[in-house]
Amino acid sequence: MGENSVFKSEADFIAWIRRKPPRQVAGLTLGIGDDAALVTVPPGQELILTTDMSIEGVHFTAALHPPQSVGHRALARSLSDIAAMGGTPRYVLLSLAISPSTTRAWLKGFFDGLFALARRFGVAVIGGDTAVAKGPIVADAIVAGVVPLGRALRRSGARPGDQIFVTGRLGMAALGLRLLDSRARIRTPTQRAALRAHLFPQPQCALGRFLSEHRLANAMMDLSDGLSIDLKRLCDASGIGANLFANRIPAAPHLDAEDALALALHGGEDYQLLFTVSAAKSAEIPRHFGRIPIHGIGEIRAATGLDMVTPNGKTISIETRGYDHFARAARR
């Protein structure tokens, strides 16, 4: 670890972290500094637990991603899982393995990004683990949230006849990554929005909670690996299939239509919500939630499989090719 780059000891590092995050949120009995953290779950609530790793060279690169973005995205991935259950995030534990060459400036940037997002969602950093190891930086963000008993929205609740909805514009994060990768100069508002969608995705916790509280959705998940693979996961969990309409899928504007559709179907890391609503209730879904557009893109059917009606009226089978770590490694 370089000279002016490190904390002298783990105690020094922990002392620094303890000064930064929101220190108190509902239910927190004991935060950072003991063998474990202690929290209470209010009566009538269930606890939601999720964890997501962010690994240098897989989920981010030192060359392309500012550390603020790495910290933001590490936490956003897990917050989005809480959103996908219809819950409220409360606590985060962070396991962080840095390399001997990680600089103090990088660490400060990383925590600035993570803490800013934590503050905005009222989430307290209550524990974690740290290590220095040769190899890529690995951040594992563990988030605990709460949801009223029995109200969590699962992937398995979709029923034939349900309408399928998504939030936001899909493929924007993938477009942002493409722009970042190409080191293209960012000129247009769409390009700026795409870059922001990739570097600083916004978990849809308020909307997830709204759908749970009003019992509007039958099934929900977040879009982390791409619509095609994630919708297949929802369909598999529910034992049903789906028909989509290509021209209803909200894709990136100002792009070749085919390119935009491919990004919307297979681009990952949008962290928008995918949910299904019974036909009877689908009229109650607003077209916007705050500034977030909501689009009906298709319908759940009894027969398994994913089909899509193309703009010219043909029905084609949707290929699932979002991100899969193991499949990607196997293809190499």
CA 295, CA 317: separation in Å to the nearest integer? 21
Residues 48 and 50: their CA atoms lie apart, in Å, by 7
- Is 156 one of the binding residues for a copy of itself (CB under 8 A)? yes
Residue 167 or 251 with smaller CB distance to a copy of itself: 167
Q: Report the residue number, 72 or 90, with the smaller CB distance to a copy of itself.
A: 90
CB atoms within 10 A of CB 99: 16
Nearer to a copy of itself, 37 or 306 (CB): 37
259 is a contact residue toward a copy of itself (CB under 8 A): no
> Which region, judged by CB under 8 A, interacts with a copy of itself, from 43-51, 108-116, 196-204, 280-288?
43-51
Any idea which residue has 């493409």 for tokens? Answer: 178
Task: Kindly tell me which of 186 and 237 has the beta carbon lying closer to a copy of itself.
Answer: 237
Tell me the one-letter amino acid at 155.
R
* Burial category of 311 from C-beta neighbours within 10 Å (exposed 0-12, middle 13-18, buried 19 and up): exposed
Q: Does 319 bind a copy of itself (CB under 8 A)?
A: no
324 binding a copy of itself? (CB under 8 A)? yes
Among 19, 34, 183, 312, binds a copy of itself (CB under 8 A): 34
How many angstroms separate the CA atoms of 188 and 202, rounded? 20
Residue 166 burial class via C-beta count within 10 angstroms: exposed 0-12, middle 13-18, buried 19 and up: buried
Interface residue with a copy of itself among 10, 181, 258, 319 (CB under 8 A) is: 10
Provide the strand spans (E) within 190-304: 219-223, 241-245, 272-277, 288-289, 292-301
Map residues 200-239 to x or -, x wherever contact with a copy of itself holds by CB under 8 A. ---------------------xx----------x---x--
Binding residues for a copy of itself, rule CB under 8 A, total: 77
Q: How many residues does the chain have?
A: 332
Shortest distance (Å) from residue 32 CB to a copy of itself: 11
**185: contact with a copy of itself by CB under 8 A:** no
CB 162 within 8 A of CB 218: yes
Query: Which is nearer to a copy of itself, 55 or 206 (by Cβ)?
Result: 55
Rounded Cα distance, 323 and 224, in Å: 9
- Measured CA to CA, the distance from residue 130 to residue 111 in angstroms comes to 13
Interacting positions 44-83 with a copy of itself (CB under 8 A): 46-53, 55, 57-59, 81-82
Strand partners, 298: 164, 244
CA distance 64 to 57: 10
Does 100 interact with a copy of itself (rule: CB under 8 A)?
A: yes
Handedness of CA 221, 222, 225, 227 (dihedral sign): positive
25 lies in the site for a copy of itself, by CB under 8 A: no
If one asks whether residue 329 binds a copy of itself (CB under 8 A), the answer comes out as yes
Residue carrying structure tokens 């019974």: 278
Q: Which residues make beta-bridge pairs with 296?
A: 165
Of these, 119, 215, 254, 328, which contacts a copy of itself (CB under 8 A)?
Answer: 328
Tokens of 241: 């299939």
Give CA–CA dist 73/177, Å, rounded: 13
Q: Of 101 and 310, which CB lies nearer to a copy of itself in the complex structure? A: 101
The least CB distance from residue 114 to a copy of itself, in Å, is: 15
> Minimum CB separation from a copy of itself for residue 53, in Å?
5
Instruction: Tell whether residue 305 is a contact of a copy of itself (CB under 8 A).
Output: no
Among 74, 84, 166, 235, binds a copy of itself (CB under 8 A): 84
Residue 8 sits in the site that holds a copy of itself (CB under 8 A): yes
- The footprint of a copy of itself on residues 126-155 (CB under 8 A) is 126-136, 138, 140, 142, 144-145, 147, 149, 152, 154-155
